[in-house]
Chains A and B, each alone.
Chain A
Amino acid sequence: MGKVRYRYNPKTCKYEPWYLRGKALQDQIAIFVGLSIVVAGVLYYVFIHNFDSLNEQLLRSENLTLKTKWQILEDRIHHAFSELNVLVEKDDKNYRVILDTEPLSPEIREGGAGGSEKFAVDEVKNFPTLLYDYTILEKLKSKLDVEVQSYKQLDNILNERIHMWASRPAIQPINNKQLDQLHMSYGSRMHPIHKYVRDHKGLDFTASEGTPVYSTGDGKVTTVHYSETYGKVIYIDHGHGYETRYAHLSKFDVQPGAMVKRGHVIGFVGSTGTSVSSHLHYEVLFNNNHVNPINFFQRDLSNKEYERLIEIGSTKSKALD
């Protein structure tokens, strides 16, 4: 206040300069401070009741960041889950169908799940998100474990099957591109030496002496010997009920007990035993019963070739043994 203030003094009848000091000043200050405190109190009350504290605001923003990151984590869990489900679906609907195996039972699939109690620590228990994520993660883990085991099992089954398919006598025992060498079909034939009709239990392939003879499937050579009728003959046990025999050979190229792969040369065509000319006599046995070998490579032949074969086979000619 630039202006000096005056007060009229009736005693002196004068205007006298007046300054704020002493008790007046104290009063003024008290009023000012009092007012300020009242206003501050009102403000404080309003703030406390209507706005979060600074700390809370800080915590809240931190919380938001953490929850966003947590969301990413949850998305990863869900993504992993859906990927696993795709694999489970393939397992059940594709591989188990293809491999002709029963699908895993729901009990096995769900087995071991239910680990939510494991995380029922108080601190986690009160947070549904956390508890949920741990539970779902636990489910994911156990489902994954089951699936890993299941794939191992599938792998083993496939190995077994591949072994089985490899041991099936699926090719022709000699190189026979033109099919001209398949002289004989399966069935009862006139015996060329003894001249009586008897069951001819194999296929004859005419071929010049020394033509290599192949094992028609993976297996173990059980017999390599000379017999009166078969001549030099090889028996191969393919497992899974299959056995093949290669007769009238001129020479052996395997030892008994040897493991052979499909396509291994095991001997050479000849005319030993009761045979009138150089040829290979080939038999397939399933569970100790003779079956027609042509069934095993029929699908390698075109329809026409196959029909021709049947035609050749149905004309009753002499067998070569």
Chain B
Amino acid sequence: MSDVKYHYNSKTFQYERASFSVKDALWYATGVLFTALILCGTAIVIHDSFVETDNERALSLENNLLKSHKPVLEEQLDAIDQELLKLKSADKNLYTRIFNAKPPEATAMSPTISREQALLADPSEFRTLLEVLNSKSELLTVKSSMSNAAFGSTIHITKEQVDLIRSIPSIQPLANPQMDLLVSGFGERINPFHKGNYEHPGVDFAAARGTEVYVTASGRVRNINRTALQAGYGNYIDVDHGHGFVTRYAHLEDIKIQRGQKVEKGTVIGTVGNSGGSIAPHLHYEVIRDGEAVDPARYLMEGLTSEQHNALLKLSSKQNQSLD
């Protein structure tokens, strides 16, 4: 008996051989696939709930650890944060007690004065000198473009002008790369010993004992004073730069030059100390011009950008206690 199947076609009144169409095949495949998916899904669910893979084991172990240790660490951290807060207030307290002023805010360094204004702060020399130099340099350009030979004979800055420039104490008396050593400025400040106001005739740079002190302009050592007395300037050096400029470096530990010696700008003349009436190792630096103490910070410009100089001026203008 053959397995061939027929359909009855009612239009032609004939039996026609039944064929397995594409549509039928698709239906069949879909059925198979659907059943397979159900089977597969069931198998996976069964597998998941009975078999634990290594990955899962590791993950759940890690998760449990993380979960259980988080509060432990958090608790410890909270305690640490508390301690840190206390320490920070201790830090503020310490600063306040040393300087009798609020500690500076972290963002206090915003330039408020322009370079020009800073120059104008002491205009007499700098401006005229700059003008002279500018006009000369213009002339120089013109002349040199005309004739190289004309150079030496017609353009020169007088020796006196060079001397004047050289006598201005324009560098910082110690290395101050972070611009943070100037701790007390010129003018009325709190005296650290009797806590009353007094005129602080210079600026204080706080630095460790033994820090090198540079002479801020070329000149001649006018006076050297050594004393064991815990009052006054202690060991100090006066350097005469001519043109009415004298600088004083006080509370030194070591003095490395002789009286009358000629010194070039930047020479190491001594080291920072705590001699005399000083509450901390520091350099008390004065600029005395024609017998009057003037604010040294105004002159400390050489090698500084205007931002740095402004930062210095800002530090210098802070109302606090000096280190005397």
Asked if B146 is at the interface of the complex by the 8 Å CB criterion, the answer is: no
Give per-residue flags for B11-48: 1 if the beta carbon is below 8 A from chain A beta carbons, else 0: 00001001000000000100111011111100111011
- For chains A and B in complex, what number of residue pairs have CB atoms within 8 angstroms? 224
Most buried by A among B37, B55, B61, B230: B230
B134: min CB distance to chain A, Å: 36
Q: Is the CB of A100 within 8 A of B207?
A: no
Q: Is the CB of A127 within 8 A of B231?
A: no
Asked if A66 is at the interface of the complex by the 8 Å CB criterion, the answer is: yes
Asked if B63 is at the interface of the complex by the 8 Å CB criterion, the answer is: yes
A4: min CB distance to chain B, Å: 7
Q: Is the CB of A100 within 8 A of B83?
A: no
Asked if B109 is at the interface of the complex by the 8 Å CB criterion, the answer is: no
Interface residues of A in 122-140 (CB under 8 A from B): 123-124, 127, 130, 133-134, 137, 140
Asked if A199 is at the interface of the complex by the 8 Å CB criterion, the answer is: no
A32 in contact with B324 given A59-B56, A63-B63 (CB within 8 Å): no
Asked if A113 is at the interface of the complex by the 8 Å CB criterion, the answer is: no
Q: Is the CB of A80 within 8 A of B80?
A: yes
A140 in contact with B281 given A7-B4, A7-B5, A171-B194 (CB within 8 Å): no
A56 in contact with B53 given A18-B5, A80-B80, A80-B84 (CB within 8 Å): yes
Instruction: Report the bound CA distance from A158 to B60 in whole Å.
Output: 55
Q: Is the CB of B63 within 8 A of A6?
A: no
Asked if B187 is at the interface of the complex by the 8 Å CB criterion, the answer is: no
B-contacting 9-mer, from A43-51, A173-181, A203-211, A270-278: A43-51
A-contacting 9-mer, from B88-96, B119-127, B135-143, B261-269: B88-96
Give per-residue flags for B37-76: 1 if the beta carbon is below 8 A from chain A beta carbons, else 0: 1111001110110001101100111110111011001101
Asked if A255 is at the interface of the complex by the 8 Å CB criterion, the answer is: no
Asked if A141 is at the interface of the complex by the 8 Å CB criterion, the answer is: yes
Asked if B206 is at the interface of the complex by the 8 Å CB criterion, the answer is: yes
Q: Is the CB of A37 within 8 A of B77?
A: no
Set of chain B residues within 8 Å of A15, measured between Cβ atoms: 6, 8, 15
Set of chain B residues within 8 Å of A296, measured between Cβ atoms: 193, 231-232, 277
Q: Is the CB of A43 within 8 A of B293?
A: no
Q: Is the CB of B193 within 8 A of A170?
A: yes
B270: min CB distance to chain A, Å: 17
Nearest residue (CB) in B for A47 is B44
A127 in contact with B65 given A5-B18, A77-B77 (CB within 8 Å): yes
Q: Is the CB of A56 within 8 A of B66?
A: no
Set of chain A residues within 8 Å of B65, measured between Cβ atoms: 123-124, 127, 130
Give per-residue flags for A279-302: 1 if the beta carbon is below 8 A from chain B beta carbons, else 0: 000000010000100011011101
Asked if B298 is at the interface of the complex by the 8 Å CB criterion, the answer is: no
Nearest residue (CB) in B for A95 is B94
Set of chain A residues within 8 Å of B191, measured between Cβ atoms: 170, 299-300
Q: Is the CB of A6 within 8 A of B87?
A: no
Give per-residue flags for B188-208: 1 if the beta carbon is below 8 A from chain A beta carbons, else 0: 000111101011010000111
Q: Is the CB of B60 within 8 A of A59?
A: yes
B-contacting 9-mer, from A67-75, A219-227, A243-251: A67-75
Interface residues of A in 88-114 (CB under 8 A from B): 90, 94-95, 97-100
Asked if A155 is at the interface of the complex by the 8 Å CB criterion, the answer is: yes
Most buried by A among B45, B73, B81, B207: B73
Of B35, B62, B201, the contact of A36 (CB 8 Å cutoff) = B35
Set of chain A residues within 8 Å of B47, measured between Cβ atoms: 48, 53
Asked if A193 is at the interface of the complex by the 8 Å CB criterion, the answer is: no
Size of chain A's interface in residues, with CB distance under 8 A?
Answer: 83
Set of chain A residues within 8 Å of B293, measured between Cβ atoms: 303
Of A63, A148, A162, A300, the contact of B83 (CB 8 Å cutoff) = A148
Of A6, A54, A161, A298, the contact of B48 (CB 8 Å cutoff) = A54
Asked if B162 is at the interface of the complex by the 8 Å CB criterion, the answer is: no
Q: Is the CB of B277 within 8 A of A295?
A: yes
Q: Is the CB of B231 within 8 A of A295?
A: yes
Give per-residue flags for A2-19: 1 if the beta carbon is below 8 A from chain B beta carbons, else 0: 011111111000010010
Q: Is the CB of A302 within 8 A of B199?
A: yes
Instruction: Report the bound CA distance from A56 to B44 in whole Å.
Output: 13
Nearest residue (CB) in B for A66 is B66
Asked if B279 is at the interface of the complex by the 8 Å CB criterion, the answer is: yes
Of A6, A38, A67, A303, the contact of B66 (CB 8 Å cutoff) = A67
Give per-residue flags for B233-253: 1 if the beta carbon is below 8 A from chain A beta carbons, else 0: 000000000000000000000
Asked if A232 is at the interface of the complex by the 8 Å CB criterion, the answer is: no
B109: min CB distance to chain A, Å: 16
Closest 9 CB pairs of A and B: A170-B193, A39-B36, A40-B39, A295-B231, A36-B35, A40-B36, A59-B59, A40-B40, A98-B280
A→B interface (CB under 8 Å): 3-10, 15, 18, 32-33, 35-41, 43-44, 47-48, 52-56, 59-60, 62-63, 66-67, 69-70, 73, 76-77, 80, 83-84, 87, 90, 94-95, 97-100, 123-124, 127, 130, 133-134, 137, 140-141, 144, 147-148, 151, 154-155, 158, 161-162, 165-166, 168, 170-171, 262, 286, 291, 295-296, 298-300, 302-303
Q: List 19 A-B contacts (CB under 8 A).
A: A3-B18, A6-B15, A8-B4, A8-B6, A47-B40, A56-B59, A76-B77, A76-B81, A87-B91, A97-B208, A97-B281, A148-B87, A151-B91, A154-B94, A168-B277, A296-B193, A299-B232, A300-B198, A303-B201
